[in-house]
């Protein structure tokens, strides 16, 4: 059975770390206080800034795909996105890149909670054993583990390699095609 990939977006398909950080820096937050993986709204609350101010400063034009991500996405049939990203910037980036996943769930799809895979699976009519979730944070790993779904680390993002003892790490997005079957 071929697996259907579901991707986190920031830090997985797109190299957005600096854009995410820069928006907070522009709002006076120090780099050491910025973390990755939280929903945009939760991160803003934690750091004491307005989500509207943050989204206004986030530069969707500066974000680029990781090397190999564009050819991976172009070779996929069915795929989805499950991300804590704010929907305005997430949809803008997907549109700019010309990427059209079957289902996209951003932070507004999770009822105020951090992301979870259930809405994506329901919309795609899939079971956990039919997918592989690809991500770059411990929260991503926990999303897959909560359902018993397969998980792959986006090891092409150097930030996530430290978590390699918790599963398979791929060093290039295109290597995912071998796993999909």
Same domain for 67 and 124?
A: yes
Could you give the CA distance from residue 110 to residue 163 in angstroms, rounded to a whole number?
Answer: 25
Same domain for 163 and 89?
A: yes
For residue 163, the model assigns a pLDDT of: 57
pLDDT tens sequence across 69-80? 999 999 999 999
Whether 117 and 149 have beta carbons less than 8 Å apart is answered as: yes
Same domain for 22 and 48?
A: yes
- CATH at 154: 3.40.50.1000
- The domain of 122 spans 4-16+63-180
Same domain for 10 and 22?
A: no
Same domain for 130 and 92?
A: yes
Could you give the CA distance from residue 99 to residue 146 in angstroms, rounded to a whole number?
Answer: 28
Same domain for 52 and 115?
A: no
Same domain for 116 and 85?
A: yes
Same domain for 99 and 120?
A: yes
Containing H/E element for 55? helix 51-57
Same domain for 143 and 94?
A: yes
Same domain for 116 and 159?
A: yes
The pTM of the full predicted model, rounded to 2 decimals, is 0.90
Number of neighbours of residue 13 by Cβ within 10 angstroms? 31
Same domain for 12 and 71?
A: yes
For residue 1, the model assigns a pLDDT of: 67
Give the chain's residues under pLDDT 50.
none
pLDDT tens sequence across 117-149? 999 999 999 999 999 999 998 899 999 999 999
Number of domains in the chain: 2
Mean of the per-residue pLDDT values of the chain: 92
For residue 132, the model assigns a pLDDT of: 97
For residue 95, the model assigns a pLDDT of: 97
Same domain for 34 and 115?
A: no
């Amino acid at each position: 059975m071929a697996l259907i990939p579901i991707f986190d977006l920031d830090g997985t398909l797109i190299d957005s770390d600096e854009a995410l950080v820069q928006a907070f820096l522009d709002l006076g937050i120090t780099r050491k206080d910025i973390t990755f993986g939280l929903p945009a709204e939760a991160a803003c609350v934690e750091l004491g800034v307005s989500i509207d101010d943050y989204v206004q400063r986030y530069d969707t034009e500066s974000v680029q795909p990781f090397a190999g991500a564009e050819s991976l996405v172009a070779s996929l049939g069915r795929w989805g996105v499950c991300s804590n990203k704010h929907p305005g910037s997430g949809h803008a980036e997907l549109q700019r890149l010309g990427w059209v996943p079957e289902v996209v769930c951003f932070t507004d799809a999770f009822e105020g909670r951090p992301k979870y895979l259930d809405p994506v699976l329901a919309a795609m009519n899939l079971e956990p054993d039919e997918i592989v979730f690809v991500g770059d944070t411990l929260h991503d790993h926990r999303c897959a583990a909560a359902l018993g779904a397969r998980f792959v680390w986006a090891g092409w993002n150097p930030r996530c390699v430290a978590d390699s003892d918790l599963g398979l790490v791929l060093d290039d997005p295109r290597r995912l095609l071998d796993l999909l079957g």
